Amino acid sequence: MSPQITPIADTAQDLELSERILAPDGSRVPNPRLDPFVADVDDAQLRSLLRDMIILRRIDAEGVALQRQGQLGLWAPCQGQEATQIGTARALSPQDFVFPSYRETGVIYSRGAQPADYVRMWRGEEGASYDPAVLGMAPLQIIIGAQTLHAVGYALGIQHDGTDEVAVTYFGDGATSQGDVNEAMIFASSYQAPVVFVCQNNHWAISEPVTVQSQYPIAGRAPGFGIPSVRVDGNDVLACMAAMRWALDHARSGKGPAYIEAVTYRMGPHTTADDPTRYRDEAELASWRRRDPITRLEAHLRAAGELSDDDVAETQAAADAVAKEMRAACLGMVTRPALAVFDGVYAEPHAGLDRQRAEYAAYLATFESGV
């Protein structure tokens, strides 16, 4: 009595169900739906996408290294998801506003981050890693799915203001189970809000395979809420960029929300606190290494004679330079003084807290010599 949906317990088959432009071996496959959205993307642009992905991978590796060295409390690696993040974020305009989860290092990068912007939160110095107004991006969100509703509200504001900006929200496959994410689709659909949902289906929510959340393609949920969707190969940077351009066009032109499921893979641990060998096969990881998004674009460009060893070496050097700056910014951070614990709770004076602060200041003062 209902449309048949194919279960996707198996990842190989899974990937076949998604739209792509670049095959895993780097060859270009015609895609009548997506091609028009990247007709303008020439080899120079492809090289620049590759560059971003390589730099992102380096930033990510630096994050892991800094954590291992005790300089960060935690890091959530995005290795394997570079095409999804760089491809979609490249399609954004600066005026668009992003509501991310915690794994969108590539989106932070694409929004023009300064070196320290990657680490302030993970180092435990600040609640937010960067200034939302500067990057056009809400702080990293740890509560799974909560940000999707914020994006819808922001989009309602855009609608009310009558501008053509778009709100974009990123979330994982696990997040799709949260009530908030479903409510976000409902609100977005009811108000036809200019919001784009980007689900990064990286196959895992910590130790749970995506089949715990859904045994069916996640992109298949959106149409039931009246939201058009596309399921795209998340390791194909061109397909990701094309899908995002489609979605942004759709939202920007007043047609309401759009939904992208990017099928990708988390190659590293969930976070630096995680040990994925406890729950997943080496074979699965190996099969995804063969679908590495960076290798794929590199193969494509090399086959086209558009990439030299020098190009790659130059990019690696640039990436190392970014990583070095990030490290320096991280190590150079100065923790705020004790009383900063009270800063910024309220916008306006609060008698109770102000008194607590004063009491604590007096208490601290008793430790100061000579007092």
Ligand X SMILES: Cc1ncc(C[n+]2csc(CCOP(=O)(O)OP(=O)(O)O)c2C)c(N)n1
User: Rule CB under 8 A: which residues touch its own copies?
Assistant: 1-3, 5, 7, 33, 176-180, 182-183, 186, 189-190, 211-216, 220-230, 246
Q: How far apart are CA 62 and CA 103, in angstroms?
A: 14
- Tell me how far CA of residue 124 lies from CA of 118, 272, 344, in angstroms: 12, 15, 16
As a whole number of angstroms, the distance between CA 87 and CA 85 comes to: 6
- Select from its own copies, ligand X, other proteins, none the partner in contact with residue 223, using the beta carbon and a kind-dependent cut-off of 5 to 8 Å: its own copies
- Site pattern 254..293 for other proteins (x: CB under 8 A): -------------------xx---xx--------------
Residue 231, amino acid: R
178 sits in the region (left: phi over 0; alpha: psi -120 to 50; else beta) called beta
- Residue 45 neighbours by CB under 8 Å, 6+ apart: none
The reply to whether 266 belongs to the active site is yes
User: Of the listed 120, 221, 270, 291, which one is catalytic?
Assistant: 270
Dihedral sign for Cα atoms in the order 196, 271, 50, 111: positive
CA dist 56 and 62 (Å) reads: 10
300 is catalytic: no
Question: 71 or 141, CB closer to ligand X?
Answer: 141
Which residues bind to ligand X, rule: CB under 6 A? 103, 142-144, 172-175, 202, 204-206, 266, 270
Instruction: Give the largest CA-CA distance in the chain.
Output: 82
Q: Which does 103 bind (CB under 5 to 8 A by kind): its own copies, ligand X, other proteins, none?
A: ligand X
Question: Could you say which residues in the range 312-341 bind other proteins, by CB under 8 A?
Answer: 335-336, 338-341
Given the complex with ligand X, which of 9 and 142 has the nearer CB atom? 142
Catalytic residue among 279, 346, 350, 363: 279
Half-sphere exposure of 164 (CA within 13 A, CB side): 9
Among 177, 287, 295, 316, binds other proteins (CB under 8 A): 177
User: Which of 139, 118, 124, 130 has the alpha carbon at shortest distance from 63?
Assistant: 118
User: Hunting for tokens 């799709």 — which residue is that?
Assistant: 176
Establish whether 291 is a catalytic residue: no
Residue nearer to other proteins on the CB measure, 175 or 227: 175
By beta-carbon proximity to its own copies, the closer residue of 50 and 181 is: 181
Return the active site residues. 266, 270, 279
